[in-house]
Amino acid sequence: MLKEHAKLMAFFSECQKVEGRKRLQKMIYILKKCGFPFSERYHFHFYGPYSEELTLRVEELNNLGLLREEKEKKSGYWLYRYTLTEEGKNFLQHYHLDMPDMQPYIQRLNEKSSRFLELVSTMLYFDGLAENEIVNKVRNVKSKQNYTDEEIEEAKAFIRQIIRHH
């Protein structure tokens, strides 16, 4: 029961705090691509890989009182913050979940901006293509972001490191 939810709770527990739904979406996607056993299915949306299942599970955790969602009004939109509640921590403690250690990955992802994570997740989405095709594709589908050559090189290096590390 709620095994997939429990995996997400383990993620929130390691992160302590996640700021922004977009960031959450991209972090889980990158971790999934690194081989962590998240089952949420992703499809490409306007802003990169997006999982409706993830959005729904997070809502369910929030409604069950296991995850706290706070929202802050920014200019013209809301920013959402997530932390596990005490009940959530308790639930996770009693749930015998066998999850590989995500901490080193989360630490690295936390050091990066949402914009960078969006670039990395988009590049990973097209990882079936040849390297030069990936860059062309990213420039095509994310033309408005105007990613610089430096950012793309940094993302490539980042992907090499995290995938190799795994």
Partner 1 sequence: MAYRDEQLHEEKVFKDPVHRYIHVRDRVIWDLIGTPEFQRLRRIKQLGTSYLTFHGAEHSRFNHSLGVYEIVRRIIENFRHRPFWNEEERLLCLTAALLHDLGHGPFSHSFEKVFGLDHEDFTRRIILGNTSVNQILQRVSPDFPKNVADVIHKTYPNKLVVSLISSQIDADRMDYLLRDAYYTGVSYGHFDMERILRVMRPMEDQVVIKYSGMHAVEDYIMSRYQMYWQVYFHPVTRSAEVILSKILQRVKELYESGYEFHVKPVHFLSFFNQEVNLEEYVKLDEAVVLYYFQTWVDEKDPVLSDLCNRFVNRHLFKYIEFNPNLQLKQWAELQQLFKKAGIDPEYYLEVDSSSDLPYDFYRPGEEEERLPIHLLMPDGELRELSRQSDIVESISGKKRTDHKLYFPMDFIEGLSERSKIKKRILEILHG
Tell the smallest beta-carbon distance from residue 65 to partner 1 (Å).
6
DSSP H stretches of helix in the chain = 3-15, 21-33, 52-63, 86-94, 103-110, 114-125, 131-141, 149-165
Tell the smallest beta-carbon distance from residue 9 to partner 1 (Å).
11
Tell the smallest beta-carbon distance from residue 54 to partner 1 (Å).
9
Q: How far is Cα 142 from Cα 160, in angstroms, rounded to an integer?
A: 21
Q: Is 51 buried (19+), middle (13-18) or exposed (0-12) by CB count in 10 A? A: buried
Nearer CB in complex with partner 1: 80/156? 80
Residue ranges binding partner 1 (CB under 8 A): 1-2, 5, 20-22, 25, 41, 43-47, 50, 52-53, 55-57, 59-60, 62-66, 74, 76-80, 87, 91, 94, 118, 125-126, 137, 140-141, 143-144
Q: Compute CA distances 143 → 32, 50, 135, 155, whole Å.
A: 25, 18, 11, 16
Tell the smallest beta-carbon distance from residue 103 to partner 1 (Å).
25
Nearer CB in complex with partner 1: 45/165? 45
